[in-house]
Amino acid sequence: MDDEKKNILTVSEYAEQLRKRSQPVSEHEPGLLARVPIIEKILNFCRANSLWPLTFGLSCCALEMMAAGMARFDIARYGAEVFRPSPRQADLMIVAGTVNKKMADTVVMLYEQMLAPKWVIALGNCAISGGPFAGEDNYFVVEGVDRLIPVDVYVPGCPPRPEGLIEGILLLQEKITGTRHPFPQTKHS
Amino acid sequence: MYDKDLIIYCAICVCAGLGSIAAVFPFVLARLVRPATRIHPRTLQSYECGNLPFGQSWDFRHGIAFYIYALIFLAFEVDILYLFPVALAFGDVAPVRGVLLLGGFVFMLACGLAYAWCTGVFTWTTRKKIY
C-alpha cells in the first residue's frame, strides 16, 4: 500500500512541474512611450478602471462572482463588468474556486495566453490555500493557485461575499495606479 | 479638362494615404505603448478554448464549390461596379450605341454565367466521406 502511494505524483509536485514548464521563454521591453512616467500613469489609470475579467468560474465562488456582476452589487461601477470568454481579450483572471489537478494545466494555459499586462485575483479559501481540501490525504486539489501562477490579490472567505470581490478589485486598482480609486462611490467612511 | 481630372485623382491619393495611415497607425501606437511582456511557451499558441490545438488546417478538406461560387460572385460584383459609370455617362452618348455597348457587356458576363450553369456549378454536390 505504501509502495503504491509513493508512485503517485503528489499534487504539489505536479504543480511544481507545471510552473517550471510555463516559465517565460523571452521578455519584451516596454515601448518607448510607455517608459515616459506621465504616459505610464495615464495608461495605468485607464487599465485600472477598465479591468476585463476572464469568465472563469471553477466552483462555488463563481456564483458570488456572478452575483457581483449582477444589478444588486453591480461591479460595472468599478469598470470591471465586461467578462470576456477569451483570454486574448481579458486582463484579469479571477480564479473563483477549487483548482483541481485536472484543471491546473488549463489554468496555467489560460494565464499564459492572456495578454500583458495581466493580473490574478484568488477568490475564496480554495484558491488561496486549498481551503477545506488541504490535508495529508489530499491527492487532487492544488493547495493554492499561487503554486501555479503569480497572484496579485487574495480575497478570503468561503465563499467571500460580492463586497469582498469588489474590495479585491479596488485593492487591485490601488496596486495598479498606486492610489485608491478616486470616484466618490468608492470612498468608504 | 485634364487638370481637373488630375485633381480628382489627387483626392484618391489622399484617401489611399489616409487609409494606409489608419491601417498602420494602430500597430505603431501599440508598439510604442506596449507594457513589458513575458512570452510563455504557450502564449503565442493558436487559441482553442483552453484545449491543445491539434492537426493542421490543410488536413481539413474544404469543398471546391465555395471557390467557384466566390468566382461567380466576383464576376457579378464587377458587373455592378462597371455599370455605375455607364449609368452616369449614359445620357452623353447616342442611345442606340449606349444600349448596344451595355447589352454587349452584360451579355458577355451572362455567357460566363450560362457556362457555369451548364457545367453544373449550381447543383450542390453532396459531401462524400473520404477515408
CA distance B47 to chain A (A): 8
* Nearest-Cα residue of chain B relative to residue A28: B37
> Cβ contact (<8 Å) for B50 and A116?
no
Q: Interior CA angle at A158 toward A154 and A100, to 5°? A: 75
CA dist A52 and A89 (Å) reads 7
| pLDDT tens-digit series, residues B10-67 | 888 999 999 999 999 999 998 898 888 889 888 888 876 667 777 777 777 766 777 7
| pLDDT tens-digit series, residues A167-178 | 899 899 999 988
> Cβ contact (<8 Å) for B47 and A39?
no
Sort out which chain B residues have CB atoms less than 8 A from A110's CB and list them.
50
Nearest to B31 among A22, A31, A113 (CB): A31
User: Residue B34 to residues A51, A133, A138: CA-CA distances in angstroms?
Assistant: 16, 40, 42
Global model pTM greater than 0.90: no
Q: pLDDT: is A1 or B3 the higher one?
A: B3
Mean pLDDT, all residues of chain A = 86
* Nearest-Cα residue of chain A relative to residue B46: A113
CA distance B81 to chain A (A): 38
CA distance A82 to chain B (A): 18
For chain B, domain boundaries: 1-36, 49-131
> Cβ contact (<8 Å) for A34 and B50?
no
Mean pLDDT for A74-100 is 88
Q: In this structure, are residues A148 and A99 in contact, taking their beta carbons and an 8 Å threshold?
A: yes
Which helix (DSSP H) or strand (DSSP E) does residue A155 occupy?
A: strand A153-155
Q: Does B37 lie at the interface with A, CB-CB under 8 angstroms? A: yes
Q: Does B8 lie at the interface with A, CB-CB under 8 angstroms? A: no
What pLDDT sits at residue A6? 54
CA dist A180 and A170 (Å) reads 7
CA dist A59 and A98 (Å) reads 6
Cell of A64: 458570488
> Cβ contact (<8 Å) for B33 and A34?
yes
CA distance A33 to chain B (A): 5
* Nearest-Cα residue of chain B relative to residue A149: B40
CA atoms within 13 A on the CB side of A145: 35
CA dist A63 and A96 (Å) reads 9
Banded pLDDT at B69 (limits 50, 70, 90):
confident
Q: Give A113-163 as a 3 state SS string.
A: HCCCCCEEEEECHHHHHCHHHCCCCCCCECCCHHHCCCCCEEECCCCCCHH
Banded pLDDT at B110 (limits 50, 70, 90):
confident
ipTM: 0.73
Question: What is the number of residues in chain B?
Answer: 131
> Cβ contact (<8 Å) for B35 and A27?
no
| pLDDT tens-digit series, residues A132-160 | 888 877 888 888 898 899 999 999 998 89
